[in-house]
Amino acid sequence: MKKLVKERKGQFVIIAVLMIAIMIMSIGALMHRAVTYYRHEPWEEYLALMGNIELNSKRLVELSLANYSSTLDQCILKSNLEKWSTDVSKIYLGRGVNLNYSLASGSYNAYGTLIYYNFGLNHSWWKPTSFTAANATFTLDISSIGLRGYKFNAKTSLKIMNVSKLILTTVKNPTRYIYAINVIVTDEYNNPITSLKRENFVISGLNYTSFGVSRLYDETYGAIYKIECEVPQPSQEIQMIITVYDPRGIKVISRIGGTLQTCNETKSPTNTTGQWNNPTYAYANDTDYASTNKNKDKQQYHGYGFAIPNGSQIISVRVGLDLFTEEDEEIRLYVSQDGGKSWLKDSWSSGALPNNEATFWVDVTNWTDWRAENINSNMIWTKVEHNKVGGKSSNIYLDWIRVEVTYIPP
């Protein structure tokens, strides 16, 4: 009997212990859920609050820089941040939110790295490498959660840098002259901005008829932009002003200029064959004349003696003639690029010549694809032909025939 009582007491104790253990585990689980809730829920809310303030502060710096780049108002960033600090305290009233700021602005050193000074806004324009920059450092306090001195930075910039020399290209048939330059546009982290289109660029300072922008890939710089401007005539002195607006509305202005190494040579002939009288008198500008009064008489001139460096870019080829006639005759001009073996299919007719000496410049650039090889070594020849007008044939007088070549050496 005693043994039975003892066994029952032992079972009761075991059951009591198990019940107590279950109660402790249940209370522990409830305490864990409660602690976890109060530990995570408010902090997630405050982290979102801090993120919103930081994001909007950075956006405000961007908007201020866009405004500054259009107006150059040095006070715009400070004014906007003062209003923003006040608005933040009002928006989060009762939470003890206080936002302060300090200002700095950017400049690029000789290595292309953005450095800052204590001005808030800065720009350096009208250079091959130009930038617009803003920088502000913020300090956030939230007294309701005991947060003090949380700092974050908002820097924004737009930079343009030319990565090639200015190149002039001549396109044939019809003749077109195109200036081209490669540039890279980067943000505050020196990352290329790849979303720009033609409407993001404005070209000025250059008398162009059209311009285009294309995006290319460069092994050194990554995404670059090729800007091409077509001009009526090339010029040795060139000033191209490039204004860029990025998708944020920030503006930067770059000036790319310089002197193209354009060479201009004019040569007179030293040899001639044909049917005209005194043909050598057309070698120089003087008072002696080559002449003929016979319809279809021809005279060839060569031996111009050009020595243009191989690989040069030929900009233009022109033939100059000093002419007059006794009546109303015409002259026709032909040009050869293979030493007189054949003549280009294009030719030029003067129309009725004047009775007093006049100079005619004939642009033959578009007549063929000119290279140094088909101008040098006596390869370029000219030929003039008498053309009668009316019933009676009269004299045509040729004082001087010469060839002018404009080119860019390699």
Which helix (H) or strand (E) is 58 found in, with range?
Answer: helix 2-71
pLDDT band (50, 70, 90) for residue 391: confident
CATH of the domain at 330: 2.60.120.260
Q: Are residues 248 and 270 in the same domain?
A: no
Query: What does each C-alpha distance from 9 to 19, 20, 163 come to in angstroms?
Result: 15, 16, 94
Residue 341 or 310, more confident: 341
Q: Are residues 153 and 114 in the same domain?
A: yes
Task: Supply the mean pLDDT for the chain.
Answer: 86
pLDDT band (50, 70, 90) for residue 93: confident
Q: At what angle do helices 76-91 and 2-71 cross, to 10 degrees?
A: 150
Last residue of a domain, one of 222, 244, 260: 260
Q: Name the residue type at position 236.
A: Q
Q: Strands 271-274 and 298-302: what pairing?
A: antiparallel
Question: Sheet harboring 237-245: ordered strands across?
Answer: 201-204, 237-245, 251-259
pLDDT digits (tens, 9 = 90+) for 1-58: 444 444 454 555 555 555 655 555 554 544 444 444 444 456 677 788 888 999 999 9
pLDDT band (50, 70, 90) for residue 110: low
Last residue of a domain, one of 127, 161, 195: 161
pLDDT band (50, 70, 90) for residue 372: very high
CB count, 10 Å around CB of 346?
12
pLDDT band (50, 70, 90) for residue 114: low
Q: Are residues 275 and 178 in the same domain?
A: no
Q: Are residues 73 and 192 in the same domain?
A: no
* CA–CA dist 199, 337 (Å, integer): 43
Q: Is the pTM of this model over 0.85?
A: no
Q: What is the per-residue pLDDT for 74?
A: 87
CATH of the domain at 167: 2.60.40
Last residue of a domain, one of 120, 143, 161: 161
Q: Residues 313-331: what's their mean pLDDT?
A: 92
Q: Give the rounded percent of residues in the chain with a pLDDT score beyond 90.
A: 60
CA dihedral 41, 42, 46, 49 (to 10 degrees): 70
Q: Are residues 109 and 97 in the same domain?
A: yes
Q: Are residues 144 and 196 in the same domain?
A: no
* CA–CA dist 367, 175 (Å, integer): 9
Q: Are residues 123 and 189 in the same domain?
A: no
CA end-to-end distance (rounded Å), the chain = 122
Of the candidates 110, 101, 66, the residue with the CA atom closest to the CA atom of residue 83: 101
3-class state of residue 285 by DSSP = coil
Q: Are residues 228 and 269 in the same domain?
A: no
Q: Are residues 251 and 390 in the same domain?
A: no
Q: What is the per-residue pLDDT for 6?
A: 45
Q: Are residues 220 and 274 in the same domain?
A: no
Q: What is the per-residue pLDDT for 360?
A: 96
* CA–CA dist 65, 249 (Å, integer): 9
**DSSP result, 81-135:** HHHHHHHHHHHTTTTTEEEEEEEEEEEE-TTS-EEEETTSEEEE-SSSEEEEEEE
The domain tally of the chain equals 3
pLDDT digits (tens, 9 = 90+) for 146-203: 889 999 999 999 999 999 888 888 777 677 888 899 999 999 999 999 999 999 999 9
Q: Are residues 389 and 351 in the same domain?
A: yes
* Inter-residue contact 235 to 264 (CB < 8 Å): no
pLDDT digits (tens, 9 = 90+) for 56-87: 999 999 999 999 999 999 889 999 999 999 99
Q: Which residue range forms the structural domain that includes residue 180?
A: 163-260
Query: Helices (DSSP H) in 150-192: which residue ranges?
Result: none
Neighbouring C-alpha atoms within 13 Å toward the C-beta of 148: 1
Residue with tokens 């003749």: 175
Residue 302 or 41, more confident: 302
Q: What are the residues facing 182 on neighbouring strands? A: 226
Q: Are residues 77 and 16 in the same domain?
A: yes
Any residues with CB less than 8 A from the CB of 385 and at least 6 apart, and which? 296, 297, 298, 331, 332, 333, 334
